[in-house]
Structures are given as C-alpha cells and as structure tokens.
Amino acid sequence: MGGNKGRKLEYLIADALKEGATVVVTCGSRQSNFVRQLGAACAMHGLRCVAAVMDLPFDSAAGKPRGAHPSGGGNEILNHWLGVELHHFPDDDWEVLYQYAETLAFALESKGETVYRIPVGGSSPLGALSFYEAGREMLAQGVKIATVVTASSSGSTQVGLTYALASEGVKVVGIVSDPEPEIVHDFVKIGEGLAELLGVKPLGPNAFLLDFDSVGPGYGVSSPEGEEAIRLMATREGIFLDPVYSGKAFAGLLRLARKGKLEGPVLFWHTGGMPTLFATAD
Ligand SMILES: Cc1ncc(COP(=O)(O)O)c(C=O)c1O
C-alpha cells in the first residue's frame, strides 16, 4: 500500500530509535497516508504510535471546504490492524490539530514515556533528506528528465527533490493539494534545515515551483478533474492514484501538458495514497 512516506520513515524512525523513543506522536487527517505508514514503521520497530486526527483539518483563512471527502474506512482500517492509537478531535484549523498532538505528547511524557514528535506528513529536515537522496538516486539511474511533477502538501517531498535536482537543471513542479500560497514559507523553512544537514546554501521561495490550480474545492475534498485523472491512469495503465494528492497532481500534469507549459521529458513521481480509494465518502 506504500507511498512517499516510506523513504522519510527510514530516516525518521532511525532517529527516533537513536533518541531512545518509546512512543512516536504525530497528527494528520483521519485518512492520513503518513499516519498509516508511520504505524507500519512503528510496528516493525516495536514503538507505540499515537496520532491526533481530525476528519478534515483546514486553514481558517481559506475556510472549511465543501464537498464529499474520504472519511471512514481506507487508511483507518489499516491503522486498526497496525495498532495505531488514534485520538479523534472535532474539525478545526491545522494549528489547533498541532496543539492537540502536543498535548498528547506532553501527557505521555508525564507518564514516563520517551516521546519522539514527528510533524505533519513527516516534513522535518530529515524527511526532506530522504527525498534529496531519492532525487540523487534518480539521477544515478541516468534517466534524462527535464521536469519532475509530483503531489505536494506538507513539503518535504518537493523540498528534497528540489535540492537534489534544481542544480542539475531539472525542474520540480509541485501540484499542491492545499489552497494556501503561504505554504511556500514552510517549504523554505524545511529547506533551511535540509541545507544545514547537507552543508549547502539554503534556497529561497522562488526555488519552489508550486501550482495551486488543481486544489479543487480544498484540501481533502476530491475534484472532478482529479477523478478524471484517476480514471485515465487506471484505464490506460492499470495504476491507481488517489483523490486527495496524486490524482490531483496527475490532473495538474495533464492540464499543464495540454497548455504546452511542461518541458519534457516529464517524470510523474507517484506518491501513493491508494488506500483512500477504499474510504467511504462523508
Ligand atoms: C499520497 C500522498 N501524496 C503526496 C503527499 C504530499 O507529500 P508531502 O507531504 O511530502 O508534501 C502526501 C502526504 O501528505 C500523500 O499522502
């Protein structure tokens, strides 16, 4: 059931083990692919996995999006089998969700647990380092690519790929699943941490090529063009995308290609998300 978080978790779980953690605490949406993959990684290494979740967290400035969104089932079923300890909170702003996660972490610490905190989507500098390595791995395969297109949200996938590929003349275009243009500041911040790990000069906001035109109704809510892209990939290639991230990303790729705005050859970096196809619409 994989996805882009496996690479991040190689680094994050290694760090958690190095720190002597007994429990890992994170947060996300109820259908978070990160929470599910973290649950699997924790299970493999004997760590407790605790997550604060909301059905559909949102950015107050943009407002809560309307429309059907994946709710129960899907990743939630996998979390059940993995033994992830989910704490459900009523829908609210992302910042409120981060506070709930911190409250859970603090409560565990006061009970004597050694807590390792992981930000939403695993987007810490270490998470980005894993995708820097992924970009280097792609270059080492000798493929000649002008543009990489990928889904982008919490940022470390695109940040890592951009640090690895921009200096090699490969553009990395992130098709964003969140409506707030300010996320670029988060990307810069993650990048600064990565630059420190790599010992290189940090990149500014213009280095991150973000496309917001496939967000649709908002984060977590599927869009007609995303569903059309999922159907096209499934019926042509037998490959599954998801309604929240990779389907919208592929829709963005198609839109840019149709307008002649993508320099080829283009590589579509599939970030996973397939379990959400099994989630029931709210
Ligand atoms: C399937 C899928 N694609 C893309 C992303 C976005 O990756 P990132 O959070 O590193 O920007 C996520 C996670 O948020 C995801 O679950």
Hey, which of 1, 4, 172 would you mutate to test ligand 1's pocket, going by the most ligand atoms within 8 Å of its Cβ? 4
pLDDT digits (tens, 9 = 90+) for 150-160: 999 999 999 99
pLDDT of residue 116: 98
For the chain, give the mean pLDDT. Answer: 96
- Determine whether the shortest distance from the Cβ of 272 to ligand 1 is under 6 A: yes
- Which of the residues 32, 130, 153, 214 is marked catalytic? 32
* pLDDT tens per residue across span 30-47: 999 999 999 999 999 999
218 lines ligand 1 (CB under 6 A): no
Residue 274 has a pLDDT of 96
On the question of pLDDT at 282 being above 80, the answer is: no
Whether the pLDDT of residue 108 is over 80: the answer is yes
Cα(48) to centroid of ligand 1, in Å? 23
Enumerate domains of the chain plus CATH numbers.
5-122 (3.40.50.1100), 125-281 (3.40.50.1100)
Mean pLDDT of 99-108: 98
Residue 164 scores a pLDDT above 80: yes
With a 6 Å cutoff on the Cβ, whether 34 touches ligand 1 is yes
What is the whole-number distance in angstroms between the Cα of residue 230 and the centre of ligand 1?
16
Pocket test for ligand 1, best of 183, 271, 277, 278 (most atoms within 8 A of CB): 271
pTM: 0.97
What is the reported pLDDT for 6? 96
* pLDDT tens, residue by residue, 239-257: 999 999 999 999 999 999 9
Token look-up 């063009």 returns 225
**pLDDT at residue 135 in the model:** 98
pLDDT at 201 > cutoff 80: yes
HSE (side-chain half, CA atoms, 13 Å) at 215: 18
- Cis preceding-peptide flag for 265 (omega within 30 of 0): yes
pLDDT of residue 67: 85
Q: Does the pLDDT value for residue 99 go beyond 70?
A: yes
Q: Can you give the chain as a three-state secondary structure string?
A: CCECHHHHHHHHHHHHHHCCCCEEEEEEECCCHHHHHHHHHHHHCCCEEEEEEECCCECCCCCCCCCCCEEEECHHHHHHHHCCEEEEECCCEHHHHHHHHHHHHHHHHHCCCCEEECCHHHCCHHHHHHHHHHHHHHHHCCCCCCEEEEEECCCHHHHHHHHHHHHHCCEEEEEECCCCCCHHHHHHHHHHHHHHHHCCCCCCHHHCEEECCCCCCCCCCCCHHHHHHHHHHHHHHCCCCCCCCHHHHHHHHHHHHHCCCCCCCEEEECCECHHHHHEEEC
- Is the pLDDT at 71 greater than 90? The verdict is no
Annotated active-site residue 32? The verdict is yes
Candidates 173, 45, 190; CA nearest to 121 is 190
Q: What is the pLDDT of residue 175?
A: 98
Residue 96 confidence (pLDDT) above 70:
yes
